[in-house]
């Protein structure tokens, strides 16, 4: 199943085609987006989400702009560039979105077909990148925690929906399952939009992986009481010093993992490490609308008009990160004196 794809003119296009993640797990619906505004709206409303999937969408969005405006004149190219800028800034935190846009835009002097080919390359590379990163992460954890079935905890959704074929953090968990060394996954529900409850549970069930769902605040308690051997999370942007921006709720899991001496492992494409962002303090954390917190399924859960704080992400300091695993390396950004211990917790 392609999560983000391209439809040719012969198919009624050109259009960016997305599996609408807002409808899952109840319904499997596809969006055919024939306008750049439609693509931007899908990104903002989380019809497509997850950093690598946003990168693929951004690249196809630029290909759509190139098909709609053409690329043959300076005016047409300026219009594509303006659309590209709007797509790249539709959400501020995930670095792959702007990278996907930039890579497609680099082919702008060619034909619209050239821009599409560049976008397809972004999409096609995801499978290879994810396979390498998830294998490396699974091997690292097996090495550190040998001789027993593993109980993993994860947050948000980092499977193929979020990252293309293979996924990232959830992909490492799937690799451990395929290796026959995974006992169970605890999936944090991931308030307020429930990417864990709606999407991770859906992917785990389809893959036949034993799992239980927990509320976000149960995650640290599960770690503290010895119910978890390893925490896996993805990343939206990693600063040059190793500070990690990921879904809100990640930081408390890293604190709990460090205190209990279990590995806290980030799995992400190398491109997520942003050399232009020195530390986590430089990362722009997206704040989303108040109704996401005030309401649930369209029902008001608090008093009307209650002021809300709704950051989509938090930043985990590098001291708390055991390893950042990408397609090309496993990087431990914590200074060795404060590196989280990798200890065997009692089963």
Sign of the Cα pseudo-torsion (250, 255, 258, 261, in order): negative
Which residue's CB is nearer to ligand MRU, number 67 or number 198?
A: 198
Beta strands per DSSP E along the chain:
4-7, 15-19, 30-33, 150-154, 182-188, 211-214, 230-233, 237-239, 244-247, 264-267, 273-274, 295-296, 299-300, 313-316, 323-325, 330-331
Judge residue 78's burial from the number of C-beta atoms within 10 Å of its C-beta, 0-12 exposed, 13-18 middle, 19 or more buried: exposed
d(CA 249, CA 8): 40
**Tokens standing for residue 200:** 């991770």
Residue with CB nearest ligand MRU?
234
User: Which lies closer to ligand MRU via its Cβ, residue 234 or residue 263?
Assistant: 234
- Residue number with CB closer to ligand MRU (190 or 260): 190
As beta bridge partners, residue 315 has 245
Quote helix, strand, coil % in the chain, to nearest 5.
45, 20, 40
Helix axes of 51-69 and 112-144: crossing angle, nearest 10 degrees: 180
Per the CB < 8 A criterion, the answer to whether 71 and 23 are in contact is no
Active-site residue, from 236, 243, 274, 314: 236
Closest CA to 278 of 325, 242, 251: 242
Question: Which residues sit at the interface with ligand MRU, rule CB under 6 A?
Answer: 46, 49-52, 94, 156, 158, 162-163, 168, 195, 234-236, 246-247, 312
Which residues are CB-neighbours of 58 under 8 A, at least 6 positions away? 43, 87, 88, 96, 97, 98, 99, 100, 101, 104
Closest contact distance (angstroms) between CB of 214 and ligand MRU is 17
**Beta-sheet strand order (sheet of 4-7):** 4-7, 15-19, 30-33
Residue 105 CB burial class (10 angstroms; 0-12, 13-18, ≥19) = buried
Q: How far apart are CA 225 and CA 203, in angstroms?
A: 27
Q: Residue 14 or 164: which CB sits closer to ligand MRU?
A: 164
- Would residue 261 be called left, alpha or beta, if left means φ above 0 and alpha means ψ between -120 and 50 degrees? left
The encoded tokens of residue 334 equal: 């914590």
Q: Which is nearer to ligand MRU, 158 or 260 (CB)?
A: 158
Spatial CA neighbour of 314 closest among 236, 259, 258: 236
Q: Look up 236 and say whether it is catalytic.
A: yes
Q: State the catalytic residues.
A: 236
């Amino acid at each position: 199943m392609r999560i983000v794809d391209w439809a040719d003119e012969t198919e009624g296009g050109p259009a960016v085609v997305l599996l609408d993640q807002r409808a899952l797990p109840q319904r499997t619906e596809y969006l055919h987006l024939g306008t750049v505004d439609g693509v931007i709206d899908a990104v903002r409303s989380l019809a497509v989400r997850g950093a690598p999937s946003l990168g693929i969408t951004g690249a196809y969005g630029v290909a759509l702009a190139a098909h709609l405006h053409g690329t043959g004149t300076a005016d047409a190219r300026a219009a594509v560039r303006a659309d590209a800028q709007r797509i790249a800034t539709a959400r501020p935190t995930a670095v792959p979105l702007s990278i996907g846009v930039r890579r497609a835009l680099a082919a702008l002097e060619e034909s619209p077909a050239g821009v599409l080919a560049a976008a397809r390359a972004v999409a096609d590379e995801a499978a290879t990148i994810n396979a390498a990163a998830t294998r490396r992460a699974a091997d690292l954890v097996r090495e550190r925690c040998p001789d027993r079935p593993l109980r993993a905890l994860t947050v948000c959704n980092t499977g193929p929906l979020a990252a293309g074929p293979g996924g990232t953090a959830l992909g490492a968990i799937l690799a451990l399952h395929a290796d026959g060394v995974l006992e169970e996954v605890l999936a944090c529900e991931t308030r307020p939009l429930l990417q864990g409850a709606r999407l991770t549970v859906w992917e785990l069930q389809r893959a036949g992986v034993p799992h239980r769902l927990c509320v976000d605040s149960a995650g640290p308690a599960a770690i503290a009481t010895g119910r978890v051997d390893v925490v896996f999370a993805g990343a939206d942007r990693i600063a040059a010093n190793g500070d990690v921006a990921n879904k809100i709720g990640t930081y408390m899991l890293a604190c709990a993992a460090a205190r209990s001496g279990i590995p806290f492992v980030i799995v992400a494409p190398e491109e997520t490490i942003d050399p232009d962002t020195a530390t986590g303090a430089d990362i722009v954390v997206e704040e989303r609308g108040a109704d996401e917190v005030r309401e649930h399924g369209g029902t008001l859960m608090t008093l009307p008009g209650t002021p809300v704080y709704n950051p989509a992400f938090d930043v985990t300091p590098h001291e708390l990160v055991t390893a950042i695993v990408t397609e090309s390396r496993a990087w431990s950004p914590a200074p060795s004196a404060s590196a989280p211990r990798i200890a065997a917790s009692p089963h």
